[in-house]
Structure 1
Amino acid sequence: MSDITPRRNMSSPSGGVPYTGETRVMRHLNRSSPHHANPNRRRWPIGWILLGLVGSIILVIGLSYWQVRQLAQRIVVSDPRGPTFASPWLGANILVIGVDIRRDRPEEGIRSDTLLLVRFDGMEGWVNLLSIPRDTQVDVPALGASKINAAYAYGYRHAAELYGTGVSPEQAGMAYAADVVSRFLNLEQHGMRVDYVVQIDFDGFAALIDALGGITIDVPRRIVDDNYPTADYGVMQVKFEPGPQRMDGARALIYARTRHADNDFGRTERQQQVVQAIVQEIQRRNWLERIMLLPRLRDALAKTGETPAILTTLPFDQLDSLLAIARLAGSLDPALIGRYRIEPGSVAVQMNGTNLIWDASDVAAMVNRWLTPPGEANEQAHVQVFNGTDVAGLARRTSEKLKTNGFTVLAPTDAPPGDYPRTVVYQVGNTPFTARRLAKLLNAQLIVGRPVGISSEAEIVVILGNDAASDE
């Protein structure tokens, strides 16, 4: 008898692996586990995923451009002066004309209430504004010595005579005003002209701001205008209290137009502030939100069958314009927009009745500053220090410190009696770069506006508070 017990064939009927006599623990398969591999599940190659992402991006860009193109087709018009070779990407001069037109009352005529010249440089990423008062006296061909706002009206009324058939009154008014502004500022001396024009009426101004959902304005001082003009040729009282406040289109239009509480120069300052607030409103949105604004802007500004509330000769749907706008929309700090105004105090002036005759050399100097990229060197700011503490000589010592750090300082003095817990730097003029560096140096609060109860010729005013006294 053999010592070897014959082994039985334990193979499975299906011909599987023979049974070896070993005990094996079978692992329970949890089909809900992420580690369980489903042989029927399709695995997408990484290349297909990347291709899908790229396709989605192209689709978004394509839809965005389609929206831009639709808006451009409605509001972009040709310039009867002929083409310009200036590019918004490399630097261009854009004249913004705010017009007062009552389309239901053509007999009332049309006036250009606002002339704002924009230096727009997409590659270097900066924007400067220059406001020209509407009562500025210039030589208008065919009219002689006239107010500069008469140029648009003359072109509007003489379109065919000036530029031939097929040119609309709006195109002629924009072109004629652009040429008159170019001559007044002597842009030819710089090898330049007004390259593009934007015309916007009151309805368009309000519609633009409403399409953005409103803007935030920090009103620097109280405004009370008892004679603000209404659409029915009456007047009403309007008030603005100081401080940040949200404004819709109608309210922002009143803020930009009111002038009886101060003068036309105060109005141009407010108009520049509104432009700054519009840029800020766009910048606070992400790119998807900005794209979503495009159809709202198209519907608000260019209703089918009507003269658009905004017209422009700037082909903003072309590549160089798109690149410039995208660059500035993504990187421009609204607080660093250069804001220049032709006004008494910065430009010598003589009066001829209600006409303003500006000193030509001062205007030339202002144009040079406007054409220069913003920066502290270009601001040429003066600083005056006021002592709001009981520490004698603190303003003098602080002024000496500022001189050491390269600031131009006026004679220090005492602040009016009051409680000044913290040092505050007031940016009175168009000096954001200097004011920011000064506030950082003094560890002070920065406020854009003029301090109440203090008179100073300086563009920047410093009121030393108790925190400065404790650092002594």
Structure 2
Amino acid sequence: MAIAYQSKNFDIFLRLGYHKIMDGIKRKKGTALPDSEAPSERNNDIYLGLQNNLPPPGNRIGNKKSAKNYGKGFLIFFIISFTITLFWVIFFSWKIHSTSKKIIITNDNNSSFVSSLKSIVAPIITNKREELKGEEKNRINILLLGAAGEGKAGKNLTDTIMIMSINTQTKKLALLSLPRDLYVKIPETKSYSKINSLYQYGLSNNEGVETVKKSVEEITGLDINYYLIINYDGFKKVIDDLGGVNVYVERDIYDTRFPGSNFSYETFKLEKGLHKMDGETALKFVRERHNDPEGDFGRAKRQQNMIQAAKSKFFSFRTLLNVFALNKILDDLGNNVKTDIQIDEIEGLLAISREVDSQNITNAVADAWEKDSLLKVSHVFYGNIRAFILVPRVGNWSEIQELSENIFDLDAIRRKEAEIEKENVKITVINQSSDRQLASKIRDLLESKMKFKSVIVKSPPTPDIREETAVYDRTGKNKIFSLNEIIKKLPARLPPEDSGIIDAREDSDLVIVLGRDLEEKYSFEEDSIEEFNKAQELEF
């Protein structure tokens, strides 16, 4: 405000001096000022008011002193403002440099403070910045992981697994949460585990975050450009540094078995409505799942809401001007966060994040609530212990990949589903696998999950066992949406011809011949969501 006020008066001062000089020249020539050079009526009051406070026109020395003093004062003000700004730029450049040494895992430890200063200041001066990974595809994907941290129960088990995607063209943001109980293949092994254990597995095998990163890329089909890991202490401290965040609680929460210190229980309660949460309350809010009817999936939604609230608070004008808060945030991040975002990329990410519409964020959670959900509940045994897991309802990760790809345009999925409904295909299933129950499982999947209305099962023409599943198209590709859906999600291949396996009298549009390749994919027995939630409540 002070700079704008000084600039305005200085401009008036210059215009006034111009008119006084021109007036003197014209008077010497005995001519009047032309209208174009005379003070306008709009500025007349200002012009006359300033004239009354200036020395008489004949007092040349007084005029010169006033102009000189005013210019000197403005110069001093400019120098002081510039010095203060420069001081804070250097201070925060040093702060970011020192913080980056702690949090950036792949950071070059030989990088100097001067190089860090250049990387931060250069974009401000030149209006150019380092291109971020993913910008060439107009999409940046950041893997967000939340863990308890060293010295706490759970340690490096990541109970928060979320992909934050930024559309750099539309400036839209999307959050996709994956449940911690997702049963996945450990990359580059033949073993399986829950996805929340992969970060700890990577640390134990000197692979760091790469193990869980590769798994998330396989599940979602996305290229993960960056990752960020934060522990409980870091989360609480940052929320407190922001002065708390405002979050709307959609339902009353009352949990008498919330995990406390030293393996104890405590009561956590919140009433429905808007709350300003401090760090401790915010952490409990995003961890709570016992008293949520949606269990782990409800927790994922609350975590997404918290991220939205924290982002809005961080990029608020008040926070960005509070140097003490920013300094404290950087201190707390340095001790509790790990990332591969380089120091010369931070400015670019902050610039894009500031432009993102915080009120228009797409939130998605891969859940197992309904028959048409992306996942289903099942179990495996570890010795005599029955452990509940989540697996894809179809035979692969194709549905999660479809959601990930279209998360900025979910209508694309709905449009495809509408086309499938219009095609109204007739499907015949023939089981030539060694699993006699496979045909009924596939029929149930096609009807309840994929919404096909006409599905029948027929006996195989021969007792031969087939290795690969195939779908035969008898429409001449006139029902392409349904055909592609089955090929991609079952999955199945499309042979060039039926090789005589299909009865010529068959009137179905599509004939699916099941092979042994689907037996393992559909071997998981489905359990109820109620059993799953009950097991979650019994967990400490």
Match of residue 210 from structure 2:
175
> Could you say what the CA RMSD is over the residues aligned between the two structures, in angstroms?
3.6
| TM-superposed deviation, 1:322 | 1.3
Structure richer in helix, relative to its length:
2
Match of 2:71 among 33, 39, 44: 44
Name the structure 2 match of 1:235. Answer: 265
SS at match of 1:97: strand
Pick closer, same or farther for the CA change 1:64–1:123 going to 2, 3 Å: farther
Match of 2:157, SS? strand
Question: How many angstroms does 1:145 deviate by?
Answer: 1.9
Give the whole-Å Cα distance in 2 for the aligned partners of 1:241 and 1:287: 28
SS in 1 for 2:317: coil
Deviation string, structure 1 residues 280-330 (Cα, Å, up to 9, x no partner): 21233347426553211122232xxxxx21111112x31x5413322322x
| One-letter amino acid matched to 1:103 | G
Matched, 1:133 2:179: yes
Query: For the structure 1 residues 114 and 205, does the alpha-carbon distance in structure 2 shift closer, same or farther, using more than 3 Å as the test?
Result: same
Cα separation, partners in 2 of 1:103 and 1:380, compared to 1, 3 Å: same
Letter in 1 for 2:247: I
Partner of 1:34: 53
Percent identity at matched positions?
A: 23
Pair 1:71-2:106 in alignment: no
Structure 1 residue 340 and structure 2 residue 364: aligned?
yes
How far off is 1:51 after superposition?
7.4
Specify the alignment match of 2:393 in structure 1.
359
**How far apart in 2 are the matches of 1:301 and 1:85?**
21
Q: Is the 8 A contact 1:199 1:312 kept in 2?
A: yes
Q: Alpha carbons of 1:71 and 1:212: their partners in 2 closer, same or farther (altered >3 Å)?
A: same
**Per-residue deviation, residues 104-124 of structure 1 (Å, max 9, x unmatched):** 78xx75311111111134454
Mapping 1:46-125, distance limit 5 Å? 61-78=89-106, 86-87=133-134, 90-103=138-151, 110-125=156-171
How many residue pairs get aligned? The number is 322
Structure 2 contact 249–275 (Cα < 8 Å) conserved: yes
Alpha-carbon distance, 1:221 to partner: 0.6
SS of 2:312's partner is helix
Decide whether aligned partners of structure 1 residues 309 and 177 sit closer, same or farther in structure 2, where only a CA change above 3 A counts: same
Asked if 1:149 is matched to 2:196, the reply is: yes
Q: TM-score with structure 2 length normalisation?
A: 0.53
Change (3 A) 1:104 1:327: closer
- Alpha-carbon offset, residue 334 of structure 1: 1.8
Q: What SS does the corresponding residue of 2:148 show, helix, strand or coil?
A: strand
Alignment partners' CA distance in 2, 1:351 and 1:146: 13
- 5+ unaligned residues in a row in structure 1: which ranges? 1-30, 160-171, 188-192, 303-307, 382-472
Correspondence 1:326 to 2:351: yes
Given that 2:221 and 2:404 are in contact with CA atoms closer than 8 Å, whether structure 1 keeps it comes out as: no
Matched with 2:376 is 349
C-alpha spacing 1:85/1:326, structure 2 compared with 1 (3 Å): closer
More off after superposition, 253-262 vs 344-353:
344-353
What is the match of residue 434 of structure 1?
none
- Corresponding residue for residue 208 of structure 1: 238
Give the superposition deviation at 1:94: 1.1
Query: In the TM superposition, what is the alpha-carbon distance from 1:369 to its structure 2 partner?
Result: 3.9
CA shift for structure 1 position 139? 0.5
Equivalent residue in structure 2 for 1:251, among 263, 274, 281: 281
Contact 1:67/1:294 (CA < 8 Å) preserved in 2? Answer: no
* Superimposed CA distance per residue, residues 185-221 of structure 1 (whole angstroms, 9 cap, x where no aligned partner): 233xxxxx22211111111110111111111110001
Determine the structure 1 residue equivalent to 2:332.
Answer: 300
Q: TM-score with structure 1 length normalisation?
A: 0.60
Once the two structures are TM-superposed, the CA of residue 66 in structure 1 deviates from its matched residue by 3.8
Q: 1:269 aligns with which of 301, 324, 334?
A: 301
TM-aligned CA distance change 1:68 to 1:294, over 3 Å = farther
2:331 aligned counterpart, secondary structure: helix
User: Would you say 1:282 and 2:282 are equivalent positions?
Assistant: no
Larger deviation, residues 138-147 vs 198-207: 138-147
Instruction: Tell me, in whole angstroms, the C-alpha distance in 2 between the residues paired with 1:58 and 1:91.
Output: 34
Q: CA deviation at 1:338?
A: 1.3
Conservation of the 8 A alpha-carbon contact between 1:214 and 1:247: yes
User: Residues 338 and 370 of structure 1 are in contact (CA less than 8 Å); yes or no, is this contact kept in structure 2?
Assistant: no
Does residue 309 (structure 1) correspond to residue 336 (structure 2)? The answer is yes
CA distance in 2, matches of 1:68, 1:51: 27
**Partners of 2:401 and 2:260 in 1: CA distance:** 35
Cα 1:371–1:253 change in 2 (3 A) is: same
Unpaired runs of 5+ in structure 2? Answer: 1-49, 56-61, 109-130, 381-387, 416-540
